[in-house]
Structure 1
Amino acid sequence: MAHPMLHAWPVTARDALPQALWTAAEIAAATGGTASHDFAASGVEMDSRDVKPGDIFVALKGEAMDGHKFIASAFEKGAVAAIVDRPVDVPHVLVKDTTQALHDLAHAARDRAVEAVRIGITGSVGKTGVKEAIFACLDRASRGAGHRSVRSYNNHVGVPLSLARMPARTKFGVFEMGMNHQGEIAPLSAHARPHVALITTIAPAHIENLGSLEAIADEKSQIFTGLVPGGVAIIPADSEWADRMIGHAKACGAKVVTFGRASNADVRLLDAIPAAGGGSLVTADLGDIRVCYTIAEPGEHWIANSLGVIAAVRAAGGDLASAGLALAEMGGLKGRGARHTLTVADGTALLIDESYNANPASMRATLKALRQTDATRRIAVLGSMKELGDFSDAFHRQLAEPLAEAGVSYAILVGEEMRALAEELGKETGGALGKGLAFTHCQNPAEAIAALGQFGLARGDAVLVKGSNSVGLGKLVSHFTEDARDAG
C-alpha cells in the first residue's frame, strides 16, 4: 500500500518555482526516462535525510541499500518528484537505471552550462579547503554565478550529484575529486571534463591501498585525463613527484602551470610574513606580474594552498583582485580549521577544529600552525590516522617530534593506532622531545572528552583537535563548543 501522504502530494509547476533547476521534461530528455507528471525541481538529492522542499530525489541502489525504500521519507521532507527504476505512486521519472540516470543528468548539466569554466581539484591534503577558496574567489567576481561541490562530495556519486546540481547560468564550477583506490580519479574527471585541473599535494593518504607515493602521484595525475582540449594542469612545484605529474599532464596534452617556492615555479612565492589575526601577507611572482594578498587562514600550508588557488583563478580567467579580497575574508570550515572561542572560568580559550580528516602531512602542517598560534598553553587532541596499512605505526611514531616542536603541553591521543605514538612519547628520548610534554592515551572520543574536561581549560589555552573522521572527534568538538554556547 502506498504511503497516504503520497497520493495527495501536489504537482509543482515551473511558474510556481521560478528558480527551477530541472523540469520534468528536461530530466526525461536527459535520462531517456518517462515523466509521470509535469513538475519543476529546484534541487537534486540522493539522501532522503537531506532532502529540501523542491528537490527531486534520486533513488539510487547500492550493495546494501535501495533508495526506493526512502521515497516516502523524501516526500515528507518536501521532494517534488523522484527518479526511479520502477513505477511508484508519486510524481516521478521512470528510468532503466537510477545511477546511470544521475550520470546522464550530470552530463546534461555540464553541457548546458555553456559559459561555465570547470575546475577540478584533487590531492592528498587540502582538497576541500582549496575548493572552497577557489569557489569564494570566483563566485565573488562572478556575482554569485559560481557553483561547487558541497561538503566533501568527491566520489563516484558525489561528483555526478554536484554536476547535476549546477545551474545553466553558472560561470564557474569547482569540483573536488577524491579516491581511496587506484582507478577512481579518471572516471570522476571524465564526468566533470574540467578546463583546469589542480593537484594540491602528494602525501601518504590512502597509502594502504596504493602502496607507494609514486602510485599516489600517478593516480592523482589521472585528473588530467578528463581535461578538455587545451586545458590547464596546475601542479605543486615543490613536490618530490612534480616531474612525474608534469609528465602525465603533458601526455594528456595539457598546458602546465606550477606553483610553490621552487625557483622555476610559474606562480612563485617571493615572501610571506605574519598578518593580523594569525594569517599571512603573501607576495607572489606570476611571471608577468607580482601580486600581494592576505590569507585569513593560518599556517604555512595555507601559504602553499593560496599559490595554487591564485594559479587556478588565473587559469580560469578569474579576477585576481577579487581573489585577494576573498582569501582575506575566508574563515575555517567545520572540521577543517574552524576556530571556536570557548568560555572558560577566567576568560576564553581557543579550539581549532580539524576533526574531519588526518594524514601524516596534514598532521605535521596543523601542528606547525599550532606552534605559531599565540597561546598560554597548547593542547593537542589527536585521533588515529587511517588507511596507512603497514606504514601506520611508523607514521604515528613520527608525530612525536612535531608535537614537541609545536610546544604542546598536553596531548590526548585517541584510537588504537595512536598507541604507537603513545609508546614513542613514553620512551626516554632526552632532548628530542624536551621536557614537560604530558600525554594520555584514550580508546574513544568519550574518554577523550573526559580527559580534556579533567585537564581543565584555562584562559589563553589553544586546543587543536585533529584525526580521521571515523575516529569521531567531531563529538568532542560539539561537546565543548555547545558547552561554550550554553555558558554564553
Structure 2
Amino acid sequence: MSLWTANEAAKATGGEVRGDWAVSGVSIDTRTIEAGDLFVALKAARDGHEFVAQALEKGAGAALVSHVPDGVADGAPLLIVDDVLTALEDLGRAARARTKARVIAVTGSVGKTSTKEMLRTVLKRQGKTHAAEASYNNHWGVPLTLARMPADADFAVIEIGMSNPGEIEPLARMARPHVALVTTVAAAHLEAFDDLDGIAREKGSIFKGLAPEGIAIVNGDLDTSSTLKAAGEGFETQSFGATARGNDHHLIHVVLSPEATICKAKVAGQDYLLKIASVGRHFAMNALAVLVTTRALGGDVTLAARDISHWAPPSGRGTHEDILLDAPEGLTLTLIDDAFNANPTSMAASLEVLAVSQPVDGVGRILKGRRMAILGDMLELGPDEAKLHADIADLPFMDQIDIVHCSGPLMRSLWERLSGDQQGIYTETAAEMAAQVHTLIDAGDVVLVKGSKGSLISKAVDAIRKMSQAQG
C-alpha cells in the first residue's frame, strides 16, 4: 500500500514531478532507508543532495530535492521543490489533513519520550497507531513523523520538544492535536529562559495548536501548574498528579520494587491498579498521564491500565541489563543505562530507582554488592548550574547509595559535596571515566550511569558492556 503517490506529493508541496512513482515510506537517512521510501534531501551537517544517488541505488522510490543532484540520471524519480524542509512540512500538513486519526501531542521537560512510547503501547491494542520510532520532536522530526502517518491510522502520537523559546507553537499548529499533554516542567534548557515560568509558558504553547473542542492535559503538582492551566484557557483543561488536592485525576499510591513499579490511580473517580515493568516513581506519573489521555481520546481506560505492563523504556533511558563479568562463575552486575539526557528532576528520579535496587552480596572481589552511580554533567541549566549539581547531595535517598563517581566540570560541584566512602573518583572527561570503569565496578553491584547526552557519559556504558563482551 502506497503512502504517497507522485501526484499526491506534488499537490501537497507544489513541486515538479519527474517520473510516475509511489512510495511506501519517508526517510532522511541512507543508513536506514528501506526500499520504496521517499528520500528527503535535508540540509544538516551535510547536504542530503550528496546522498540522493546512493538512496536511489538502495531502492528509494523517489527523492525530494531542490535540484537534480550530480550523479543522478535524468529519468530518476524525483520531486523538485523550492525548499526541501518547507516541502517536508507541507507533506506533514497534508498527511494530517487527510487522516481521521485522533491525534495526541506530548511535550514536557522530562518524560515526553517515555510517555509517547507508553501511549503507543496501549493505543496500538485499541486501533492502528502511528508514532515516531525515535525522539523525532524538533523542526524536522515533527513534520517527518506526520509525513510518515498512514491515512488510515486510528491514533497518532506526536512528540514535540524545544531548546529555545518559540519552537513548540508552530509544530503544535502543524500537528493540530485533539489532545495535548504536558508531562512536567523542570530545569531543562534553563539557560535559554529567564526562569521555570518561562519554560512553562513555552510548554503551554502546545495548546495553541489544539483542534476545535480539543483537550489540554497538565501536570497539576507543579509550581508552574497555574501557568500551564492559563495556557489552556479556551479549551477543556484537565489536571493530574499525586499531591495537589485540586487535581482531576490522582496518583494515589506508588510502591517501588527492585523489578517493577506498582501504583494505584484514580481517573475520573474510578480506581485502577497498574504494574509497570520498570522501576521509577516518574514512570508511575507518566502512566497516570497515559490513562488520562486515553480517556480524553474516548479510549478504553481499563484496557490501557492492563496493557501498560507491556511497556519498557528504550535503551539509554533507564533500562536495566545484566552484565557478565566472569563467564566461568556466571558473575554479573546490573547496569542501569540512563545516559541519554539529564536535568535535576530526571536525575533525582534515576537516583531514587538506584536507591531501591537490590545489589547481590557474597560474589565478586569485594563480596558486598553496592549501589553505585557514575554521573556526567547536566547541561543547559543556566547560571545556577553549579548549585543544581551540588544540591543532588541533599536528596533524601542519597544515603542509600554507596558510592558516587563524577565526571565533567559541572559534576565537580557534587563530587566536592560528597564525603567519606560515598565520594568516588572524579574525572574531568567521560573518556577518562570510561578508561577507569573496569577498576570501579564489581560483580553484585547495581550501577547507574546518568548524564546529559552531550556529557558523553555513555562512554562509560560502552566500557561496561565491552567488559561483558570480553567474556563472551
SS of the residue corresponding to residue 174 of structure 2 reads: helix
What residue in structure 1 maps to residue 440 of structure 2?
455
| Equivalent in 456, 464, 467 of residue 480 of structure 1 | 464
SS of the residue corresponding to residue 222 of structure 2 reads: coil
Identical counterparts, % of pairs: 40
What residue in structure 1 maps to residue 303 of structure 2?
322
Conserved in 1, the CA contact under 8 Å of 2:172 and 2:210?
A: yes
| Equivalent in 14, 34, 37 of residue 16 of structure 2 | 34
Conserved in 2, the CA contact under 8 Å of 1:409 and 1:437?
A: yes
**1: distance between equivalents of 2:248 and 2:180?**
15
Conserved in 2, the CA contact under 8 Å of 1:299 and 1:372?
A: no
Q: How does 1:5-84 map to 2 (within 5 A)?
A: 19-62=1-44, 65-84=46-65
What residue in structure 1 maps to residue 280 of structure 2?
299
Partner AA of 2:143 in structure 1: P
- How far is the alpha carbon of 1:218 from its aligned partner? 0.6
| Equivalent in 268, 278, 288 of residue 250 of structure 2 | 268
Residues 1:286 and 1:403: Cα distance change in structure 2 (over 3 Å): closer
Conserved in 2, the CA contact under 8 Å of 1:185 and 1:223?
A: yes
**1: distance between equivalents of 2:459 and 2:198?**
34
- State yes or no: 1:441 paired with 2:432: no
- State yes or no: 1:120 paired with 2:105: yes
| Equivalent in 333, 344, 355 of residue 339 of structure 2 | 355
| Equivalent in 354, 377, 385 of residue 384 of structure 1 | 377
Conserved in 1, the CA contact under 8 Å of 2:405 and 2:415?
A: no
Residues 1:21 and 1:311: Cα distance change in structure 2 (over 3 Å): same
- State yes or no: 1:366 paired with 2:347: no
* TM-score (normalised: structure 1): 0.89
Q: How does 1:201-220 map to 2 (within 5 A)?
A: 201-220=184-203
What residue in structure 1 maps to residue 404 of structure 2?
411
Residues 1:100 and 1:456: Cα distance change in structure 2 (over 3 Å): closer
**1: distance between equivalents of 2:458 and 2:134?**
15
Deviations along 1:407-438, one digit per CA (max 9) or x if unpaired, are 22222212222122222226xxxxxxxx4213
- How far is the alpha carbon of 1:82 from its aligned partner? 0.5
Partner AA of 2:114 in structure 1: G
- State yes or no: 1:398 paired with 2:379: no
**1: distance between equivalents of 2:90 and 2:173?**
12
SS of the residue corresponding to residue 436 of structure 1 reads: helix
Return 295-304 or 204-213, whichever deviates more: 295-304
**1: distance between equivalents of 2:312 and 2:267?**
25
- How far is the alpha carbon of 1:78 from its aligned partner? 2.8
Deviations along 1:35-81, one digit per CA (max 9) or x if unpaired, are 1111221211123333222211111235x532212212322433221
Return 176-185 or 417-426, whichever deviates more: 417-426
Instruction: Give ranges in structure 1 of 5+ residues lacking alignment.
Output: 1-18, 427-434
Conserved in 2, the CA contact under 8 Å of 1:340 and 1:481?
A: no
- How far is the alpha carbon of 1:334 from its aligned partner? 0.9
What residue in structure 2 maps to residue 7 of structure 1?
none
Q: How does 1:163-182 map to 2 (within 5 A)?
A: 163-182=146-165
Instruction: Give ranges in structure 2 of 5+ residues lacking alignment.
Output: 360-368
What residue in structure 1 maps to residue 450 of structure 2?
466
**2: distance between equivalents of 1:421 and 1:211?**
24
What residue in structure 1 maps to residue 180 of structure 2?
197
- State yes or no: 1:133 paired with 2:152: no
- State yes or no: 1:109 paired with 2:95: yes
Conserved in 2, the CA contact under 8 Å of 1:368 and 1:406?
A: no
- How far is the alpha carbon of 1:160 from its aligned partner? 0.4
SS of the residue corresponding to residue 170 of structure 1 reads: coil
Conserved in 1, the CA contact under 8 Å of 2:131 and 2:158?
A: yes
What residue in structure 2 maps to residue 237 of structure 1?
220
- How far is the alpha carbon of 1:324 from its aligned partner? 2.0
- How far is the alpha carbon of 1:113 from its aligned partner? 1.1
- How far is the alpha carbon of 1:283 from its aligned partner? 1.8
**1: distance between equivalents of 2:51 and 2:14?**
23
Say what the alpha-carbon RMSD is for the aligned residues.
1.7
- How far is the alpha carbon of 1:190 from its aligned partner? 0.8
**2: distance between equivalents of 1:444 and 1:322?**
47
**2: distance between equivalents of 1:42 and 1:325?**
33
Return 445-454 or 174-183, whichever deviates more: 445-454
Residues 1:421 and 1:270: Cα distance change in structure 2 (over 3 Å): closer
**1: distance between equivalents of 2:15 and 2:175?**
22
Conserved in 2, the CA contact under 8 Å of 1:53 and 1:77?
A: yes
What residue in structure 2 maps to residue 224 of structure 1?
207
**2: distance between equivalents of 1:292 and 1:479?**
39
Deviations along 1:366-398, one digit per CA (max 9) or x if unpaired, are 101111111231111111011112111111111
Conserved in 2, the CA contact under 8 Å of 1:367 and 1:403?
A: no
Residues 1:321 and 1:404: Cα distance change in structure 2 (over 3 Å): closer
